Amino acid sequence: MADTKTRILDVAEELTQLKGFNGFSYIDLANEIGVKTASVHYHYKLKADLALALVERAHEDQVAALSKLEVRFSNPEKRLTTLVEVFESYLEQEKFCLCGMMSAEMQSVSPAVKKRLKVYFEDMRAWVAKQFKEMGFKDYKHRSFNFVSALEGSLLIARLSDDPSLIRDAMKTAKKA
């Protein structure tokens, strides 16, 4: 059962990153995984339950990934550059940031999902702020907001334009601003 539950999350994440959370149904999930829709409903009774599970997992993954960057690189600028590279890899896979995509569909998600999305982005901004603070910027909170906004926004525009260089260009400007 746990394998099916994990597989449902994996496929739902991929479909969300490719099409948006509202761009697929439980029938699509079941067909992709090779199970009956009843199996999907068994694990996630409502699509809102699935959305919350996706955002919770994305948040946990983000916390772990950012912690690994702290250990792997002593240089905060290198940590930020590596984060940008993660976003560039989304474009190479024709995907979008899961929580960015879910935020774009804010009007159709539950209050619990909205709350968790807010925490996801608050934590990301706090981590980015920490990097700018370590780099000696006094306006590190403002810079972190600009950086995360530019990261999410440039991914959207780069995906539309099919031009990965837009992400790196936007991030160079965001680091300087």
Q: What is the pLDDT of residue 177?
A: 61
**CATH number where 11 lies:** 1.10.357.10
Q: Which of 61, 68, 77 lies closest to 128, judged by CA?
A: 77
Q: What is the pLDDT of residue 166?
A: 86
Q: What is the pLDDT of residue 164?
A: 82
Q: What is the pLDDT of residue 111?
A: 95
Count of the separate structural domains present in the chain: 1
Residue-number span of the structural domain to which 111 is assigned: 2-176
Encoded tokens for 141: 């909170």
d(CA 132, CA 76): 7
Can you say whether the dihedral through the CA atoms of 44, 49, 55, 61 is positive or negative? negative
**CA distances for 156 relative to 16, 87, 160, 167, angstroms:** 14, 10, 6, 9
Low-confidence ranges of the chain (pLDDT < 70): 1-2, 175, 177
Encoded tokens for 63: 């916390």
d(CA 62, CA 66): 6
